[in-house]
Amino acid sequence: MGPGQTKRTGMQTVVFTNPPVINAMASIVGPKEGQGPLGKTFDKVIDDNLYGEKSWEKAERKLLKEAVEMAIKKANLTAKDMDYLLAGDLLNQLISANFAARDLGIPLIGLYGACSTMFEGMALGAMLVDGGYANHVAFGASSHHDTAERQYRFPTELGVQRPLSAQWTVTGAGAAVLGNTGAGPVVTHATIGKVIDLGIKDAGDMGSAMAPAAADTICQHFKDTGRTPEDYDLIITGDLASIGKALTQQLVSQNGYDISKIYTDCGILIFDPAQDTHAGGSGCACSATVFSSYIMDEIKAGKFKRVLALGTGALLSPTSILQGESIPCIAHGAVIEAR
Partner 1 sequence: MSLFLVSHYYGEVSLVSEEQGYKEKAYQKLVTQTKPKPPIVRNVVAAFTVGGIICTIGQAILNIYLGFGLTIAGAATATSATLVFVAAILTGLGVYDEIGRFGGAGSIVPITGFANSMVAPAMEFKREGLVLGVGAKLFSIAGPVLVWGITTAWIIGLLAYFIM
Q: Which residues bind partner 1 (CB under 8 A)?
A: 11, 54-55, 150, 154-165, 198-200, 205, 208, 212, 215-216, 219-220, 243, 246-247, 250-251, 254-256
- How many Cβ atoms from other residues are within 10 Å of residue 21's Cβ? 22
Minimum CB distance to partner 1, residue 162 (Å): 7
Least gap, CB of 161 to partner 1 (angstroms): 4
Q: Which is nearer to partner 1, 54 or 261 (CB)?
A: 54
Of the two residues 185 and 193, which places its CB atom closer to partner 1 in the complex?
193
**Inter-axis angle of helices 56-74 and 95-104, nearest 10:** 50
Residue whose CB is less far from partner 1, 3 or 276: 276
Question: Given the complex with partner 1, which of 37 and 204 has the nearer CB atom?
Answer: 204
| Between 212 and 311, CB nearer to partner 1 | 212
Q: Shortest Cβ distance from residue 143 to partner 1 (Å)?
A: 18
Residue 76: closest CA among 184, 187, 186: 184
Interior/surface letters 305-321, b for 16+ CB within 10 angstroms, e for the rest: ebbbbbbbbbbbeeeee
Q: What is the DSSP letter of 78?
A: -
Cα(175)–Cα(136) distance, rounded to whole angstroms?
Answer: 13
**What minimum distance in Å lies between the beta carbon of 316 and partner 1?**
16
Residue 329 beta carbon to partner 1: minimum distance, rounded to whole angstroms? 12
Rounded to 10 deg, the angle between the 241-254 and 206-225 helix axes is 40
Instruction: Count Cα atoms within 13 angstroms, Cβ side, for 322.
Output: 5
> Which of 277, 260, 275 shows the shortest CA–CA distance to 165?
277
CB of 135 to partner 1, least distance (A): 36
Nearest-5° Cα angle at 23, 18 to 29: 135
Determine whether 233 is exposed, middle or buried from the number of CB atoms within 10 Å of its CB (0-12, 13-18, 19+). Answer: middle
Q: Which is nearer to partner 1, 136 or 221 (CB)?
A: 221
Partners of residue 300 on adjacent β-strands: none
| Shortest Å, Cβ 297 to partner 1 | 32
Distance CA 197, CA 212 (A): 7
Minimal distance, residue 255 CB to partner 1, in Å: 5
Nearer of residues 220 and 293 to partner 1, judged by Cβ: 220
Smallest CA-to-CA distance from 259 within 250, 271, 268, 267 is with 250
Q: How far apart are the first and last CA of the chain?
A: 23
Contacts 24+ apart (CB under 8 A), 246-254: 247/207, 247/208, 247/211, 247/212, 247/215, 248/211, 248/214, 248/215, 248/218, 251/211, 251/212, 251/215, 252/215, 252/218, 252/219
Specify the residue, 122 or 243, whose C-beta has the smaller distance to partner 1: 243
Under DSSP, the state recorded for 292 is: I
CB closer to partner 1 out of 97 and 240 = 240
Least separation in angstroms between CB 74 and partner 1 = 33
